Chain A
């Protein structure tokens, strides 16, 4: 079974550049989540989708962050413009239903110089 697939695994870019993180959830999973993990703040939920529709984006830190899910098999998290404080590991997770556990991808390690 293919798990949640994230790309790229690592991204290093300069401040001010646009960053796009990609996620392919597990087929058949109706829920998709974007998390950010840092040493200081731990795991934070940024946004989640149900059937491709954003349900709660209250965790998105600023307007510089945006997320889309154009279809059931693909989602993007975009940061524009990026700042050094956005450096973190970003995880995508998916689950089949509300009662099923979340399956995480291996994350994208983002470094903004």
Chain B
């Protein structure tokens, strides 16, 4: 019940295309859903986050869509660039678990020039 499922495992997109990564969760106690971006040799860095009281949040080219009834959320990267090539992790946290984040397994994104 604490798992967060993430797909696809890897994704190849042409420059200028849209990258879409999907996550699903089971535990309805989760109330905070961040996305992290990780470049090789670096730690994950917070990219964008959403709470379940909104269905969408946009920051620049990055958008989170949230479907509370389906317990799913997704990251959309518009106008994907080669510099976006990285591994993306969705995560979830609920008050019942204090500060314990549950991370998805990650999606390796490659944006071709």
Contacts and interface: CB of A to CB of B under 8 A. Distances in A.
A42 B49 contact: no
Provide the main secondary structure of the chain A interface. strand
Provide the main secondary structure of the chain B interface. loop
What bracket does the count of chain B residues touching chain A fall in? 10 to 19
A43 B34 CA distance: 14
Given A43-B89, A45-B100, A45-B101, A104 B49 contact: no
A91 B45 CA distance: 12
B43 A105 contact: yes
Contacts of A11: none
A82 interface: no
A101 B49 contact: yes
Interface of A: 4, 31, 33, 42-43, 45, 48, 50, 55-56, 91, 93, 95, 98, 101-107
Interface in B65-113: 89, 98-101, 103-106
Contact of A104 (B41, B43, B98, B106): B43
B42 interface: yes
Nearest to B89: A43
A104 B76 CA distance: 23
A91 B36 CA distance: 14
Contacts of A107: 41-43
B100 A104 contact: no
Given A45-B100, A55-B98, A101 B46 contact: yes
B53 to A, nearest CB: 14
Nearest to B44: A104
A95 B98 CA distance: 13
A42 B105 contact: yes
